[in-house]
Amino acid sequence: MTLSFILSLLNMTVENSVPYLLITVGGVFVARAGVFNISMEGCTELAAFAGILFAFRTGNIWVGVIDAILFAVAINCIFYIFTVKLNGNLSVVGTGINLFAVCVPASLLQIMYGSRSNLIATKIIDPLKMMIDIPILRKIPLLNEVFNKQTFITYLTILIVWGLIIVMYKTKFGIAVRVTGENPNAAKSVGINTDRIKFYCLMISALTCALAGINLSVEQLGMYTIGMSANRGFICLSAINCGRKEPGKACIYALIFGFVRALQTIINNFVPVAISSLLGILPYASIIIVLLIVEMPVAKRNHLRFFKGAN
């Protein structure tokens, strides 16, 4: 276990944690407002697709970025209308949106390019160019290996996480979000429009999911593969639950899952090709193990025999 191995592992952790952190920190707002949103998966997937598609067709990365954000916002608007305004069942609407967001890219790809496979845009986007070299960091020995040459959104993520934590705990909006989730009647009685709060939270989540999707497809690879978000939406839901809906704690779990993902990538280099496909279960298995570790002590101390209410 040499130093360079550890450093490259940390570097990959930083790189891989970005989508998890983004989806999680946006999702915390939605969860805190009392909405169980499983459509973050579809949102991220569609944003990843839109980013590459429009960048490819117009030759301009920024068009791709803007369109990814627009699509994510549109998906969350649909979610909002169907669940908050029209009172649809959260799990059903979420699953419906996830299915929708998976089959639309597939069918469009088949129509436009004849096959249901990847969309490679590396002519327009060079993943290596996405890495930013920061002069100050270059001079600091350990930090350079870990934090330098990351992508723009990676650095943005640090700001976003820090900023959103402040919003949650130090602003009027943050308090309104927490009250909406804990006691909607209390919120309404002081004049807080709970529907509007939920909408704003969904928009925050749309933005972070869009950035996560763009990071996955545009920044890291320069291409889109079907199913590339790889259940990150669900994984982040676990992170939010384990972190008891607190942004700080949830982000720590997101980092753990990013670390597992990095581990998977690195181990891939050392194992025979056959096993590498098996490594794919690492993130999923790690969630179940994390859940076990977190919930077992809680369950042991619980002396109530009955199940309490809903989700």
Partner 1 sequence: MSESIIEVRNLTKKFGDFTANDNINLNIQEGEIRAVIGENGAGKSTLMNMMYGILQPTSGDILFRGNKIHINSPRDAINLGIGMVHQHFKLSPSLTIYENIVLGAETLRKTKIGKKVFNSFLIDEKKEREEVQALVDRFNFNLNINDKVVDISIGAKQRVEILKMLYREVDLLILDEPTAVLIPSEVDDLIERFKILKASGKTIIIITHKLNEVKMCADNITVVRTGKVIGTVPNTDDTTDEDLAEMMVGRPVLLRVKKSGKPCGDRIAYNVKDLNAVDSEGRAILKDINIRIHENDIIGVAGVEGNGQTELMLALTGLMDIASGSIELDGKDITGLWPDELRKQGVGIVPEDRYRQGLCRDLPVSSNMIAGYHDQQPYCKNEIMMTKAIKANFKNISKEYDVRLSHGDPAVGSLSGGNAQKVIIAREFSRKPKVLLVSQPTRGVDIGAIEFIHNEIFRMRDSGAAVFIISSDLSEVTGLSDRVLVMYHGEIVGKFKSGDVSFNELGLYMSGVKKMTKEELASL
Partner 2 sequence: MKKHGKTPVVPKSIELIELHRKKCNAVWDTIIPLFFAFIVGSIFSLICKCSPIKLYSFILKKAFMSYGGILNTLGYATPIIMTGIATAFSIKAGIWNMGIEGQVFAGAFVSALAGYMIKGLPSFLHVTICLLIGAVVGALYALIPGILKAKLRINEVVTTVMLNSIATTVTGFLTQSYFGTGDAYAHTEFILETARLAKISSRYRSTTALFIAVVIWAILFFVLKKTKFGYEVSCIGKQLEFSDAVGMHVAKKIIIIFIIGGAIAGIAGTTEILGANYNFVNTFSANPGIGWDGFFACILAGSNPIGIMIYSIVFGALRYGALAAQTGLGVPLDLINVIKSALVLFMAIKLVSTHGDSIKEFFRKLVTKKGDKEEKEAKA
Binding mask 266-305 for partner 1 (x = CB under 8 A): --------------------------------x--xxxxx
189 binds, among partner 1, partner 2, none (CB under 5 to 8 A by kind): partner 1
Residue 100 found at the interface with partner 2 (CB under 8 A): yes
79 in Cβ contact with 100 (< 8 Å) = no
Question: Distance (Å, rounded) from C-alpha 97 to C-alpha 76?
Answer: 9
Residues facing 131 on adjacent strands: 151
Per CB under 8 A, the segment of 63-71, 157-165, 174-182, 292-300 that binds partner 2 is 292-300
**Using the rule CB under 8 A, which residue among 73, 192, 197, 263 binds partner 1?**
192
155 binds, among partner 1, partner 2, none (CB under 5 to 8 A by kind): none
Per CB under 8 A, the segment of 53-61, 162-170, 264-272, 277-285 that binds partner 1 is 162-170
Query: Which residues have a Cβ under 8 Å from the Cβ of 43 and sit 6 or more positions away?
Result: 72, 75, 76, 97, 101, 205, 206, 209, 210, 213, 233
212 in Cβ contact with 160 (< 8 Å) = no
Three-state DSSP at 310 gives coil
Main-chain dihedrals φ then ψ at residue 112, nearest 5 degrees: -80, -35
Residue 142 found at the interface with partner 2 (CB under 8 A): no
152 binds, among partner 1, partner 2, none (CB under 5 to 8 A by kind): none
Q: Which letter does DSSP use for residue 271 in this model?
A: S
Using the minimum distance from each CB to partner 2, give the nearer residue, 3 or 304.
304
For the chain, how many residues are written?
311
Residue 171 found at the interface with partner 1 (CB under 8 A): yes
Q: What is the DSSP string of 33-53?
A: TT---TTHHHHHHHHHHHHHH
Task: Give me the residues that bind partner 2 (CB under 8 A), please.
Answer: 38, 78, 82, 86-89, 91-93, 95-97, 99-100, 102-104, 106-108, 110-111, 116, 231, 234-235, 237-238, 241, 274, 277-278, 280-281, 284-285, 287-288, 291-292, 295-296, 298-299, 302, 305-311
